Amino acid sequence: MKPISLNKVEIKDKFWTRWQRLIKDDIVPYQWSILNDQIPGVEKSQTIENFRMAAGEVKGEFYGMVFQDSDLAKWLETASYVLTMERNEQLEQWADGVIDILERAQQADGYLNTYFTVAEPDLRWKNLKDGHELYCAGHMIEAAVAYYEATGKSKILHIASKMADQMDAVFGIEEGKLRGYDGHPEIELALIRLYRATNNRKYLNLSKYFVEERGRKPNYFDQEDIERQKIGAKNLTPPKELDYYVAHAPVTEMETAEGHAVRAVYLFSAMADLAAEYQDQALLQAVKKMWQNIVNKRMYITGGIGSSGLHERFTVDYDLPNDRVYAETCASVGFIMWAYRMLELEEDRRYADVMEQVLYNGALSGISLDGKKYFYVNPLEVKPSLLGHRNDLYFVKGERQSWYGCACCPPNIARLLASLGQYIYSYNEARKNLFVHLYIGSQIEQEIEGQLVQINQTGHYPWNGDIQFQVATESPVHFTLALRIPAWCDSFEITVNGERVETMDSLDKGYLKIARTWNSGDRVELLLPMKVRVMRSNPLVRDNVGKISLLRGPIVYCLEQIDNKENLPDIGVSAKTDFQTVFANDLLEEGAINLEFDAWVTDSLSLNVDELYFQTEVKRNPFQAKAIPYFLWANREPGEMLVWIKEEK
């Protein structure tokens, strides 16, 4: 199963078109201005200026994180996806101009990295653990492939190929080469993209080397530390355990998902790609084991991953605190990338279900409605008065920020939203199966049996589960349309040209497959009833004992103080309450469904506020509560927020 090319997918969806328009008209220009330090009052970037220094065009000192280059790379990748949607002369001029700077900054041997060119030119490839050279190179390669595919211009692809050629000359098991790998996985999946764009197999083999060498004994990072001590090189970060780098064991011997969450999902994405390219069953089983561990024991209901702010990492099974959560936006982006790659390996809805869960909740919460403010961390419970007073909450923000000194998340969520079209569909050519993974209004073109087939998808998802598909083709053509029936949906109906389809025996790993000869004008209507679902968690998740969460369709809901009251954890709700769905445009201009319901709160008059502890039974009073989609929180005034609500018996 392969994705349908992004240039063959046009999103025409009321919900998602606003985000695509925002990316094109506001976010990409806004982030470009930040990278050029043109917006007063926003965290300094100096990213473009660093490249000019590396090119020898200006003098100065490197500024920013050691991986500052990746901010530009992700911006360029996002710009490429925008150019795939439509031509934009100004954007293309910006991109071409910065590519010229990259070409001048690239060293004669192909090396390209501003930190180690400007700040530590004698220490290239001597700090793979923390230096992020391969990480930055990976993002630049991804940007290069995306720009080449969008415009057909090959200059940046040549730059990327020279980078990869230089790495291939440096790394490997051959005598005289470094048997190292990156401390932050990214180069692995990027090299696979470069291989697919150039058909140069050495890039695929280099990716395979990086993955297979990782975690072997003696561990390269331990040896590297010894060599750095010999030359008196400074450490870029405090020492960390090997599992932080997901380098504690060979990838096929890992039992649980460990370490830095973003590093992990980028690595697992590459493992899935390699399993597909080499038909490697050991890699497939290893990456499936990681998936099962995360989804069944280490994932938040929003799809967020990484439960500890210390080292931004996984901890242990069922450790999912709601207020001290990390759930980095970048981790959600990487999780979606990984989920789609798992779909390419196995046509199973469980991967698409998670992809959807993360997309509408843990990822989309990372960006404000105007596209110019961002969350790095995505908590499920916030009390603003505690922030700044507790060390274990130092990383949590009650409001999205305009930018960050470590600004990995803003351009990452932008590139996800700009490339959304590539996650909606895929096609299995051997079986002539056209899969629909996400219900997003769109039009696609796919060649089937030598002719161009057009599918037009319409609907009002995620607020309404009535979805329509219309087929356009020059002549009758036989193929299978495979529609995902989400796990959250306990019933569904489907008609083809108005006639109901019997579906009892048609579900294949969660996909409803309609095999027939299709004619132009054929129409499919799928109805997925959306009921409010009251969810509980495994009691081993200590923070959620005695609590429920509210979901409808793919949307997770939360309480905000502005709609309810102070001290949200005091609000209780019965699972048997009648939840009213209210369509309103008070938060989202095009409208969203909120939930209104009867709840209970403590009668403050029955308490002695001067007593901290007491024996008196607490009196509870009725209260009208309101919940909004989680991704919309913090778009009004600051205040408390809560996903898991006390269950009132």
- Active-site residues: which are they? 312, 408
| 56/69 Cα distance (integer angstroms) | 16
What is the CA 520 to chain-centroid distance, rounded? Answer: 36
Report how far apart, in Å, the C-alpha atoms of 519 and of each of 168, 289, 453 are.
50, 42, 10
The widest CA-to-CA distance across the chain, in whole angstroms, is 80
φ and ψ at residue 524, rounded to 5 degrees: -115, 135
- By the 10 Å C-beta count (0-12 exposed, 13-18 middle, 19+ buried), 90 is classed as exposed
Say if residues 356 and 486 touch (Cβ distance below 8 Å): yes
Cβ pair 349, 510 in contact under 8 A:
yes
Q: Tokens 């408390």 identify what position?
A: 640
What letter represents residue 240's amino acid?
A: K
Which DSSP helix (H) or strand (E) runs through 89? helix 89-105
d(CA 164, CA 188): 11
What tokens does 257 get?
């998902």
Give exposure, 260-274, as e/b (b: 16+ Cβ within 10 Å): bbbbbbbbbbbbbbb
d(CA 91, CA 414): 15
Please say whether the beta carbons of 116 and 108 come within 8 A.
no
Contact between residue 384 and residue 638 where contact means Cβ atoms under 8 Å apart: yes
Phi, psi at residue 630, to the nearest 5°? -55, -40
CA distance 414 to 405: 17
Phi, psi of 496, deg, nearest 5: -120, 120
> Distance between terminal CA atoms of the chain?
48
How far, CA to CA in Å, does 383 sit from each of 101, 387, 640, 646?
45, 7, 5, 16
Reading the block at residue 268, the tokens are 């697992």
CA dihedral 578, 583, 585, 586 (to 10 degrees): -10
Token pair 């060390």 is at which residue?
391
Rounded Cα gap, residues 440 and 259, in angstroms? 34
Scanning the structure block, which residue is given the tokens 């010894």? 226
As given in the structure block, the two tokens for residue 556 are 């997770």
User: Concatenated DSSP letters for 432-465?
Assistant: TEEEE-S---EEEEEEETTEEEEEEEEE-TTT--
Residue type, 143: A
Residues 6+ positions from 107 with CB-CB distance below 8 Å: 117
Question: Which residues lie closer than 8 Å to 67 by C-beta, 6 or more apart?
Answer: 115, 132, 135, 136, 184, 408
d(CA 296, CA 8): 35
Token readout for 584 is 């309103």
